[in-house]
Amino acid sequence: MRKTITVAVLGSTGYVGLELIYILSRHPGIEIIFLGSENFPNKDIKEFDKRITNDTLPKLDLYKNIDPTNIDVVFLALPHIVSQNFVKKNINKTNIIDLSADFRLDDSEVYRNNYNSKHVCPYLLNNFIYGLPEINFGLIRNCNNIAVPGCYPTSILLPLVPLLKAKLINSYNIIIDSKSGYSGAGKKFDERNISKDGMLNFYNYNTNEHRHICEIHQELSKISDTEVKFSFNPHILPIFRGMMSTIYCDLNKDISSYDINECLTKFYSNASFVKLIDKQERNDFFKVQNTNNCFIKLFDH
């Protein structure tokens, strides 16, 4: 008989928290016993997301009222800095899955340079595994604490890690052109940036300076024998959800598009959510919105 896993979510009313609760509340092996919110204590989570229909969920409560020793897994859907303060106080009291950026990076100096804040518990960075399951499944299975990858890095690492690992592409000249829906910017995003007087807008931002660059570089460098150099240009689209990364790579000598396809097909043969699609099939946001899926489409010239 499968054991029921008890779960808490802190940061319940943000985009990430609500999506997480929606997924967890429908899972037969999960029991949510604590929902944390500093701004809306005693409110019903269904007031914030009509998709959540589970009537057994607890009301929102202040973070200070959680007892992590009685919970199997605590999910932190919190802003960076807030997450690390919780971890500092509660490490080893429960299993922690952190959805912020606080434990994705291995180096506290890199963290400080990119997030403009000194890490309050850099000695705990090694307690977390970078939680991209298609790449680190074996490590995740044997770890109590997981740092969930960033959105842009996920869309970039999934296609590039297998190719760099197999030495099929040149690591010195990778061009990454990414586009995201505005939900990735959180609830504080000003929608006037993308819509004005009935007109829709589209723009790039933080080219080659985005915070996720260090995360991408860190993970690619772990599997490449040569230095990894890339340019990264992110954009915001006038849609709510979804992400697409178009990545340009030079093939190494004597490597063909067939080799690339074979590598990715084999690497993800047992991956439930990563799928290669034919070049004749359209790859668009409708295919991935509200799913766990990543679709990879190859082009050659």
Q: Which residues are catalytic?
A: 151
| CB contact set of 253 (below 8 Å; sequence gap of 6+) | none
| CB contact set of 249 (below 8 Å; sequence gap of 6+) | 160, 163, 169, 170, 173, 174
Rounded Cα distance, 284 and 282, in Å? 6
Rounded Cα distance, 118 and 285, in Å? 37
Q: Which helix (H) or strand (E) holds 296?
A: strand 294-297
Look-up of token digits 């990735």: 184
User: Which amino acid would we find at residue 289?
Assistant: Q
Alpha helix segments (H runs only) across 170-221:
212-221
Rounded Cα distance, 35 and 57, in Å? 8
Q: Which residues pair with 30 in a beta bridge?
A: 5
Helix, strand, coil shares, percent, the chain, to 5: 30, 20, 45
Q: Are 81 and 88 in contact (CB under 8 A)?
A: no
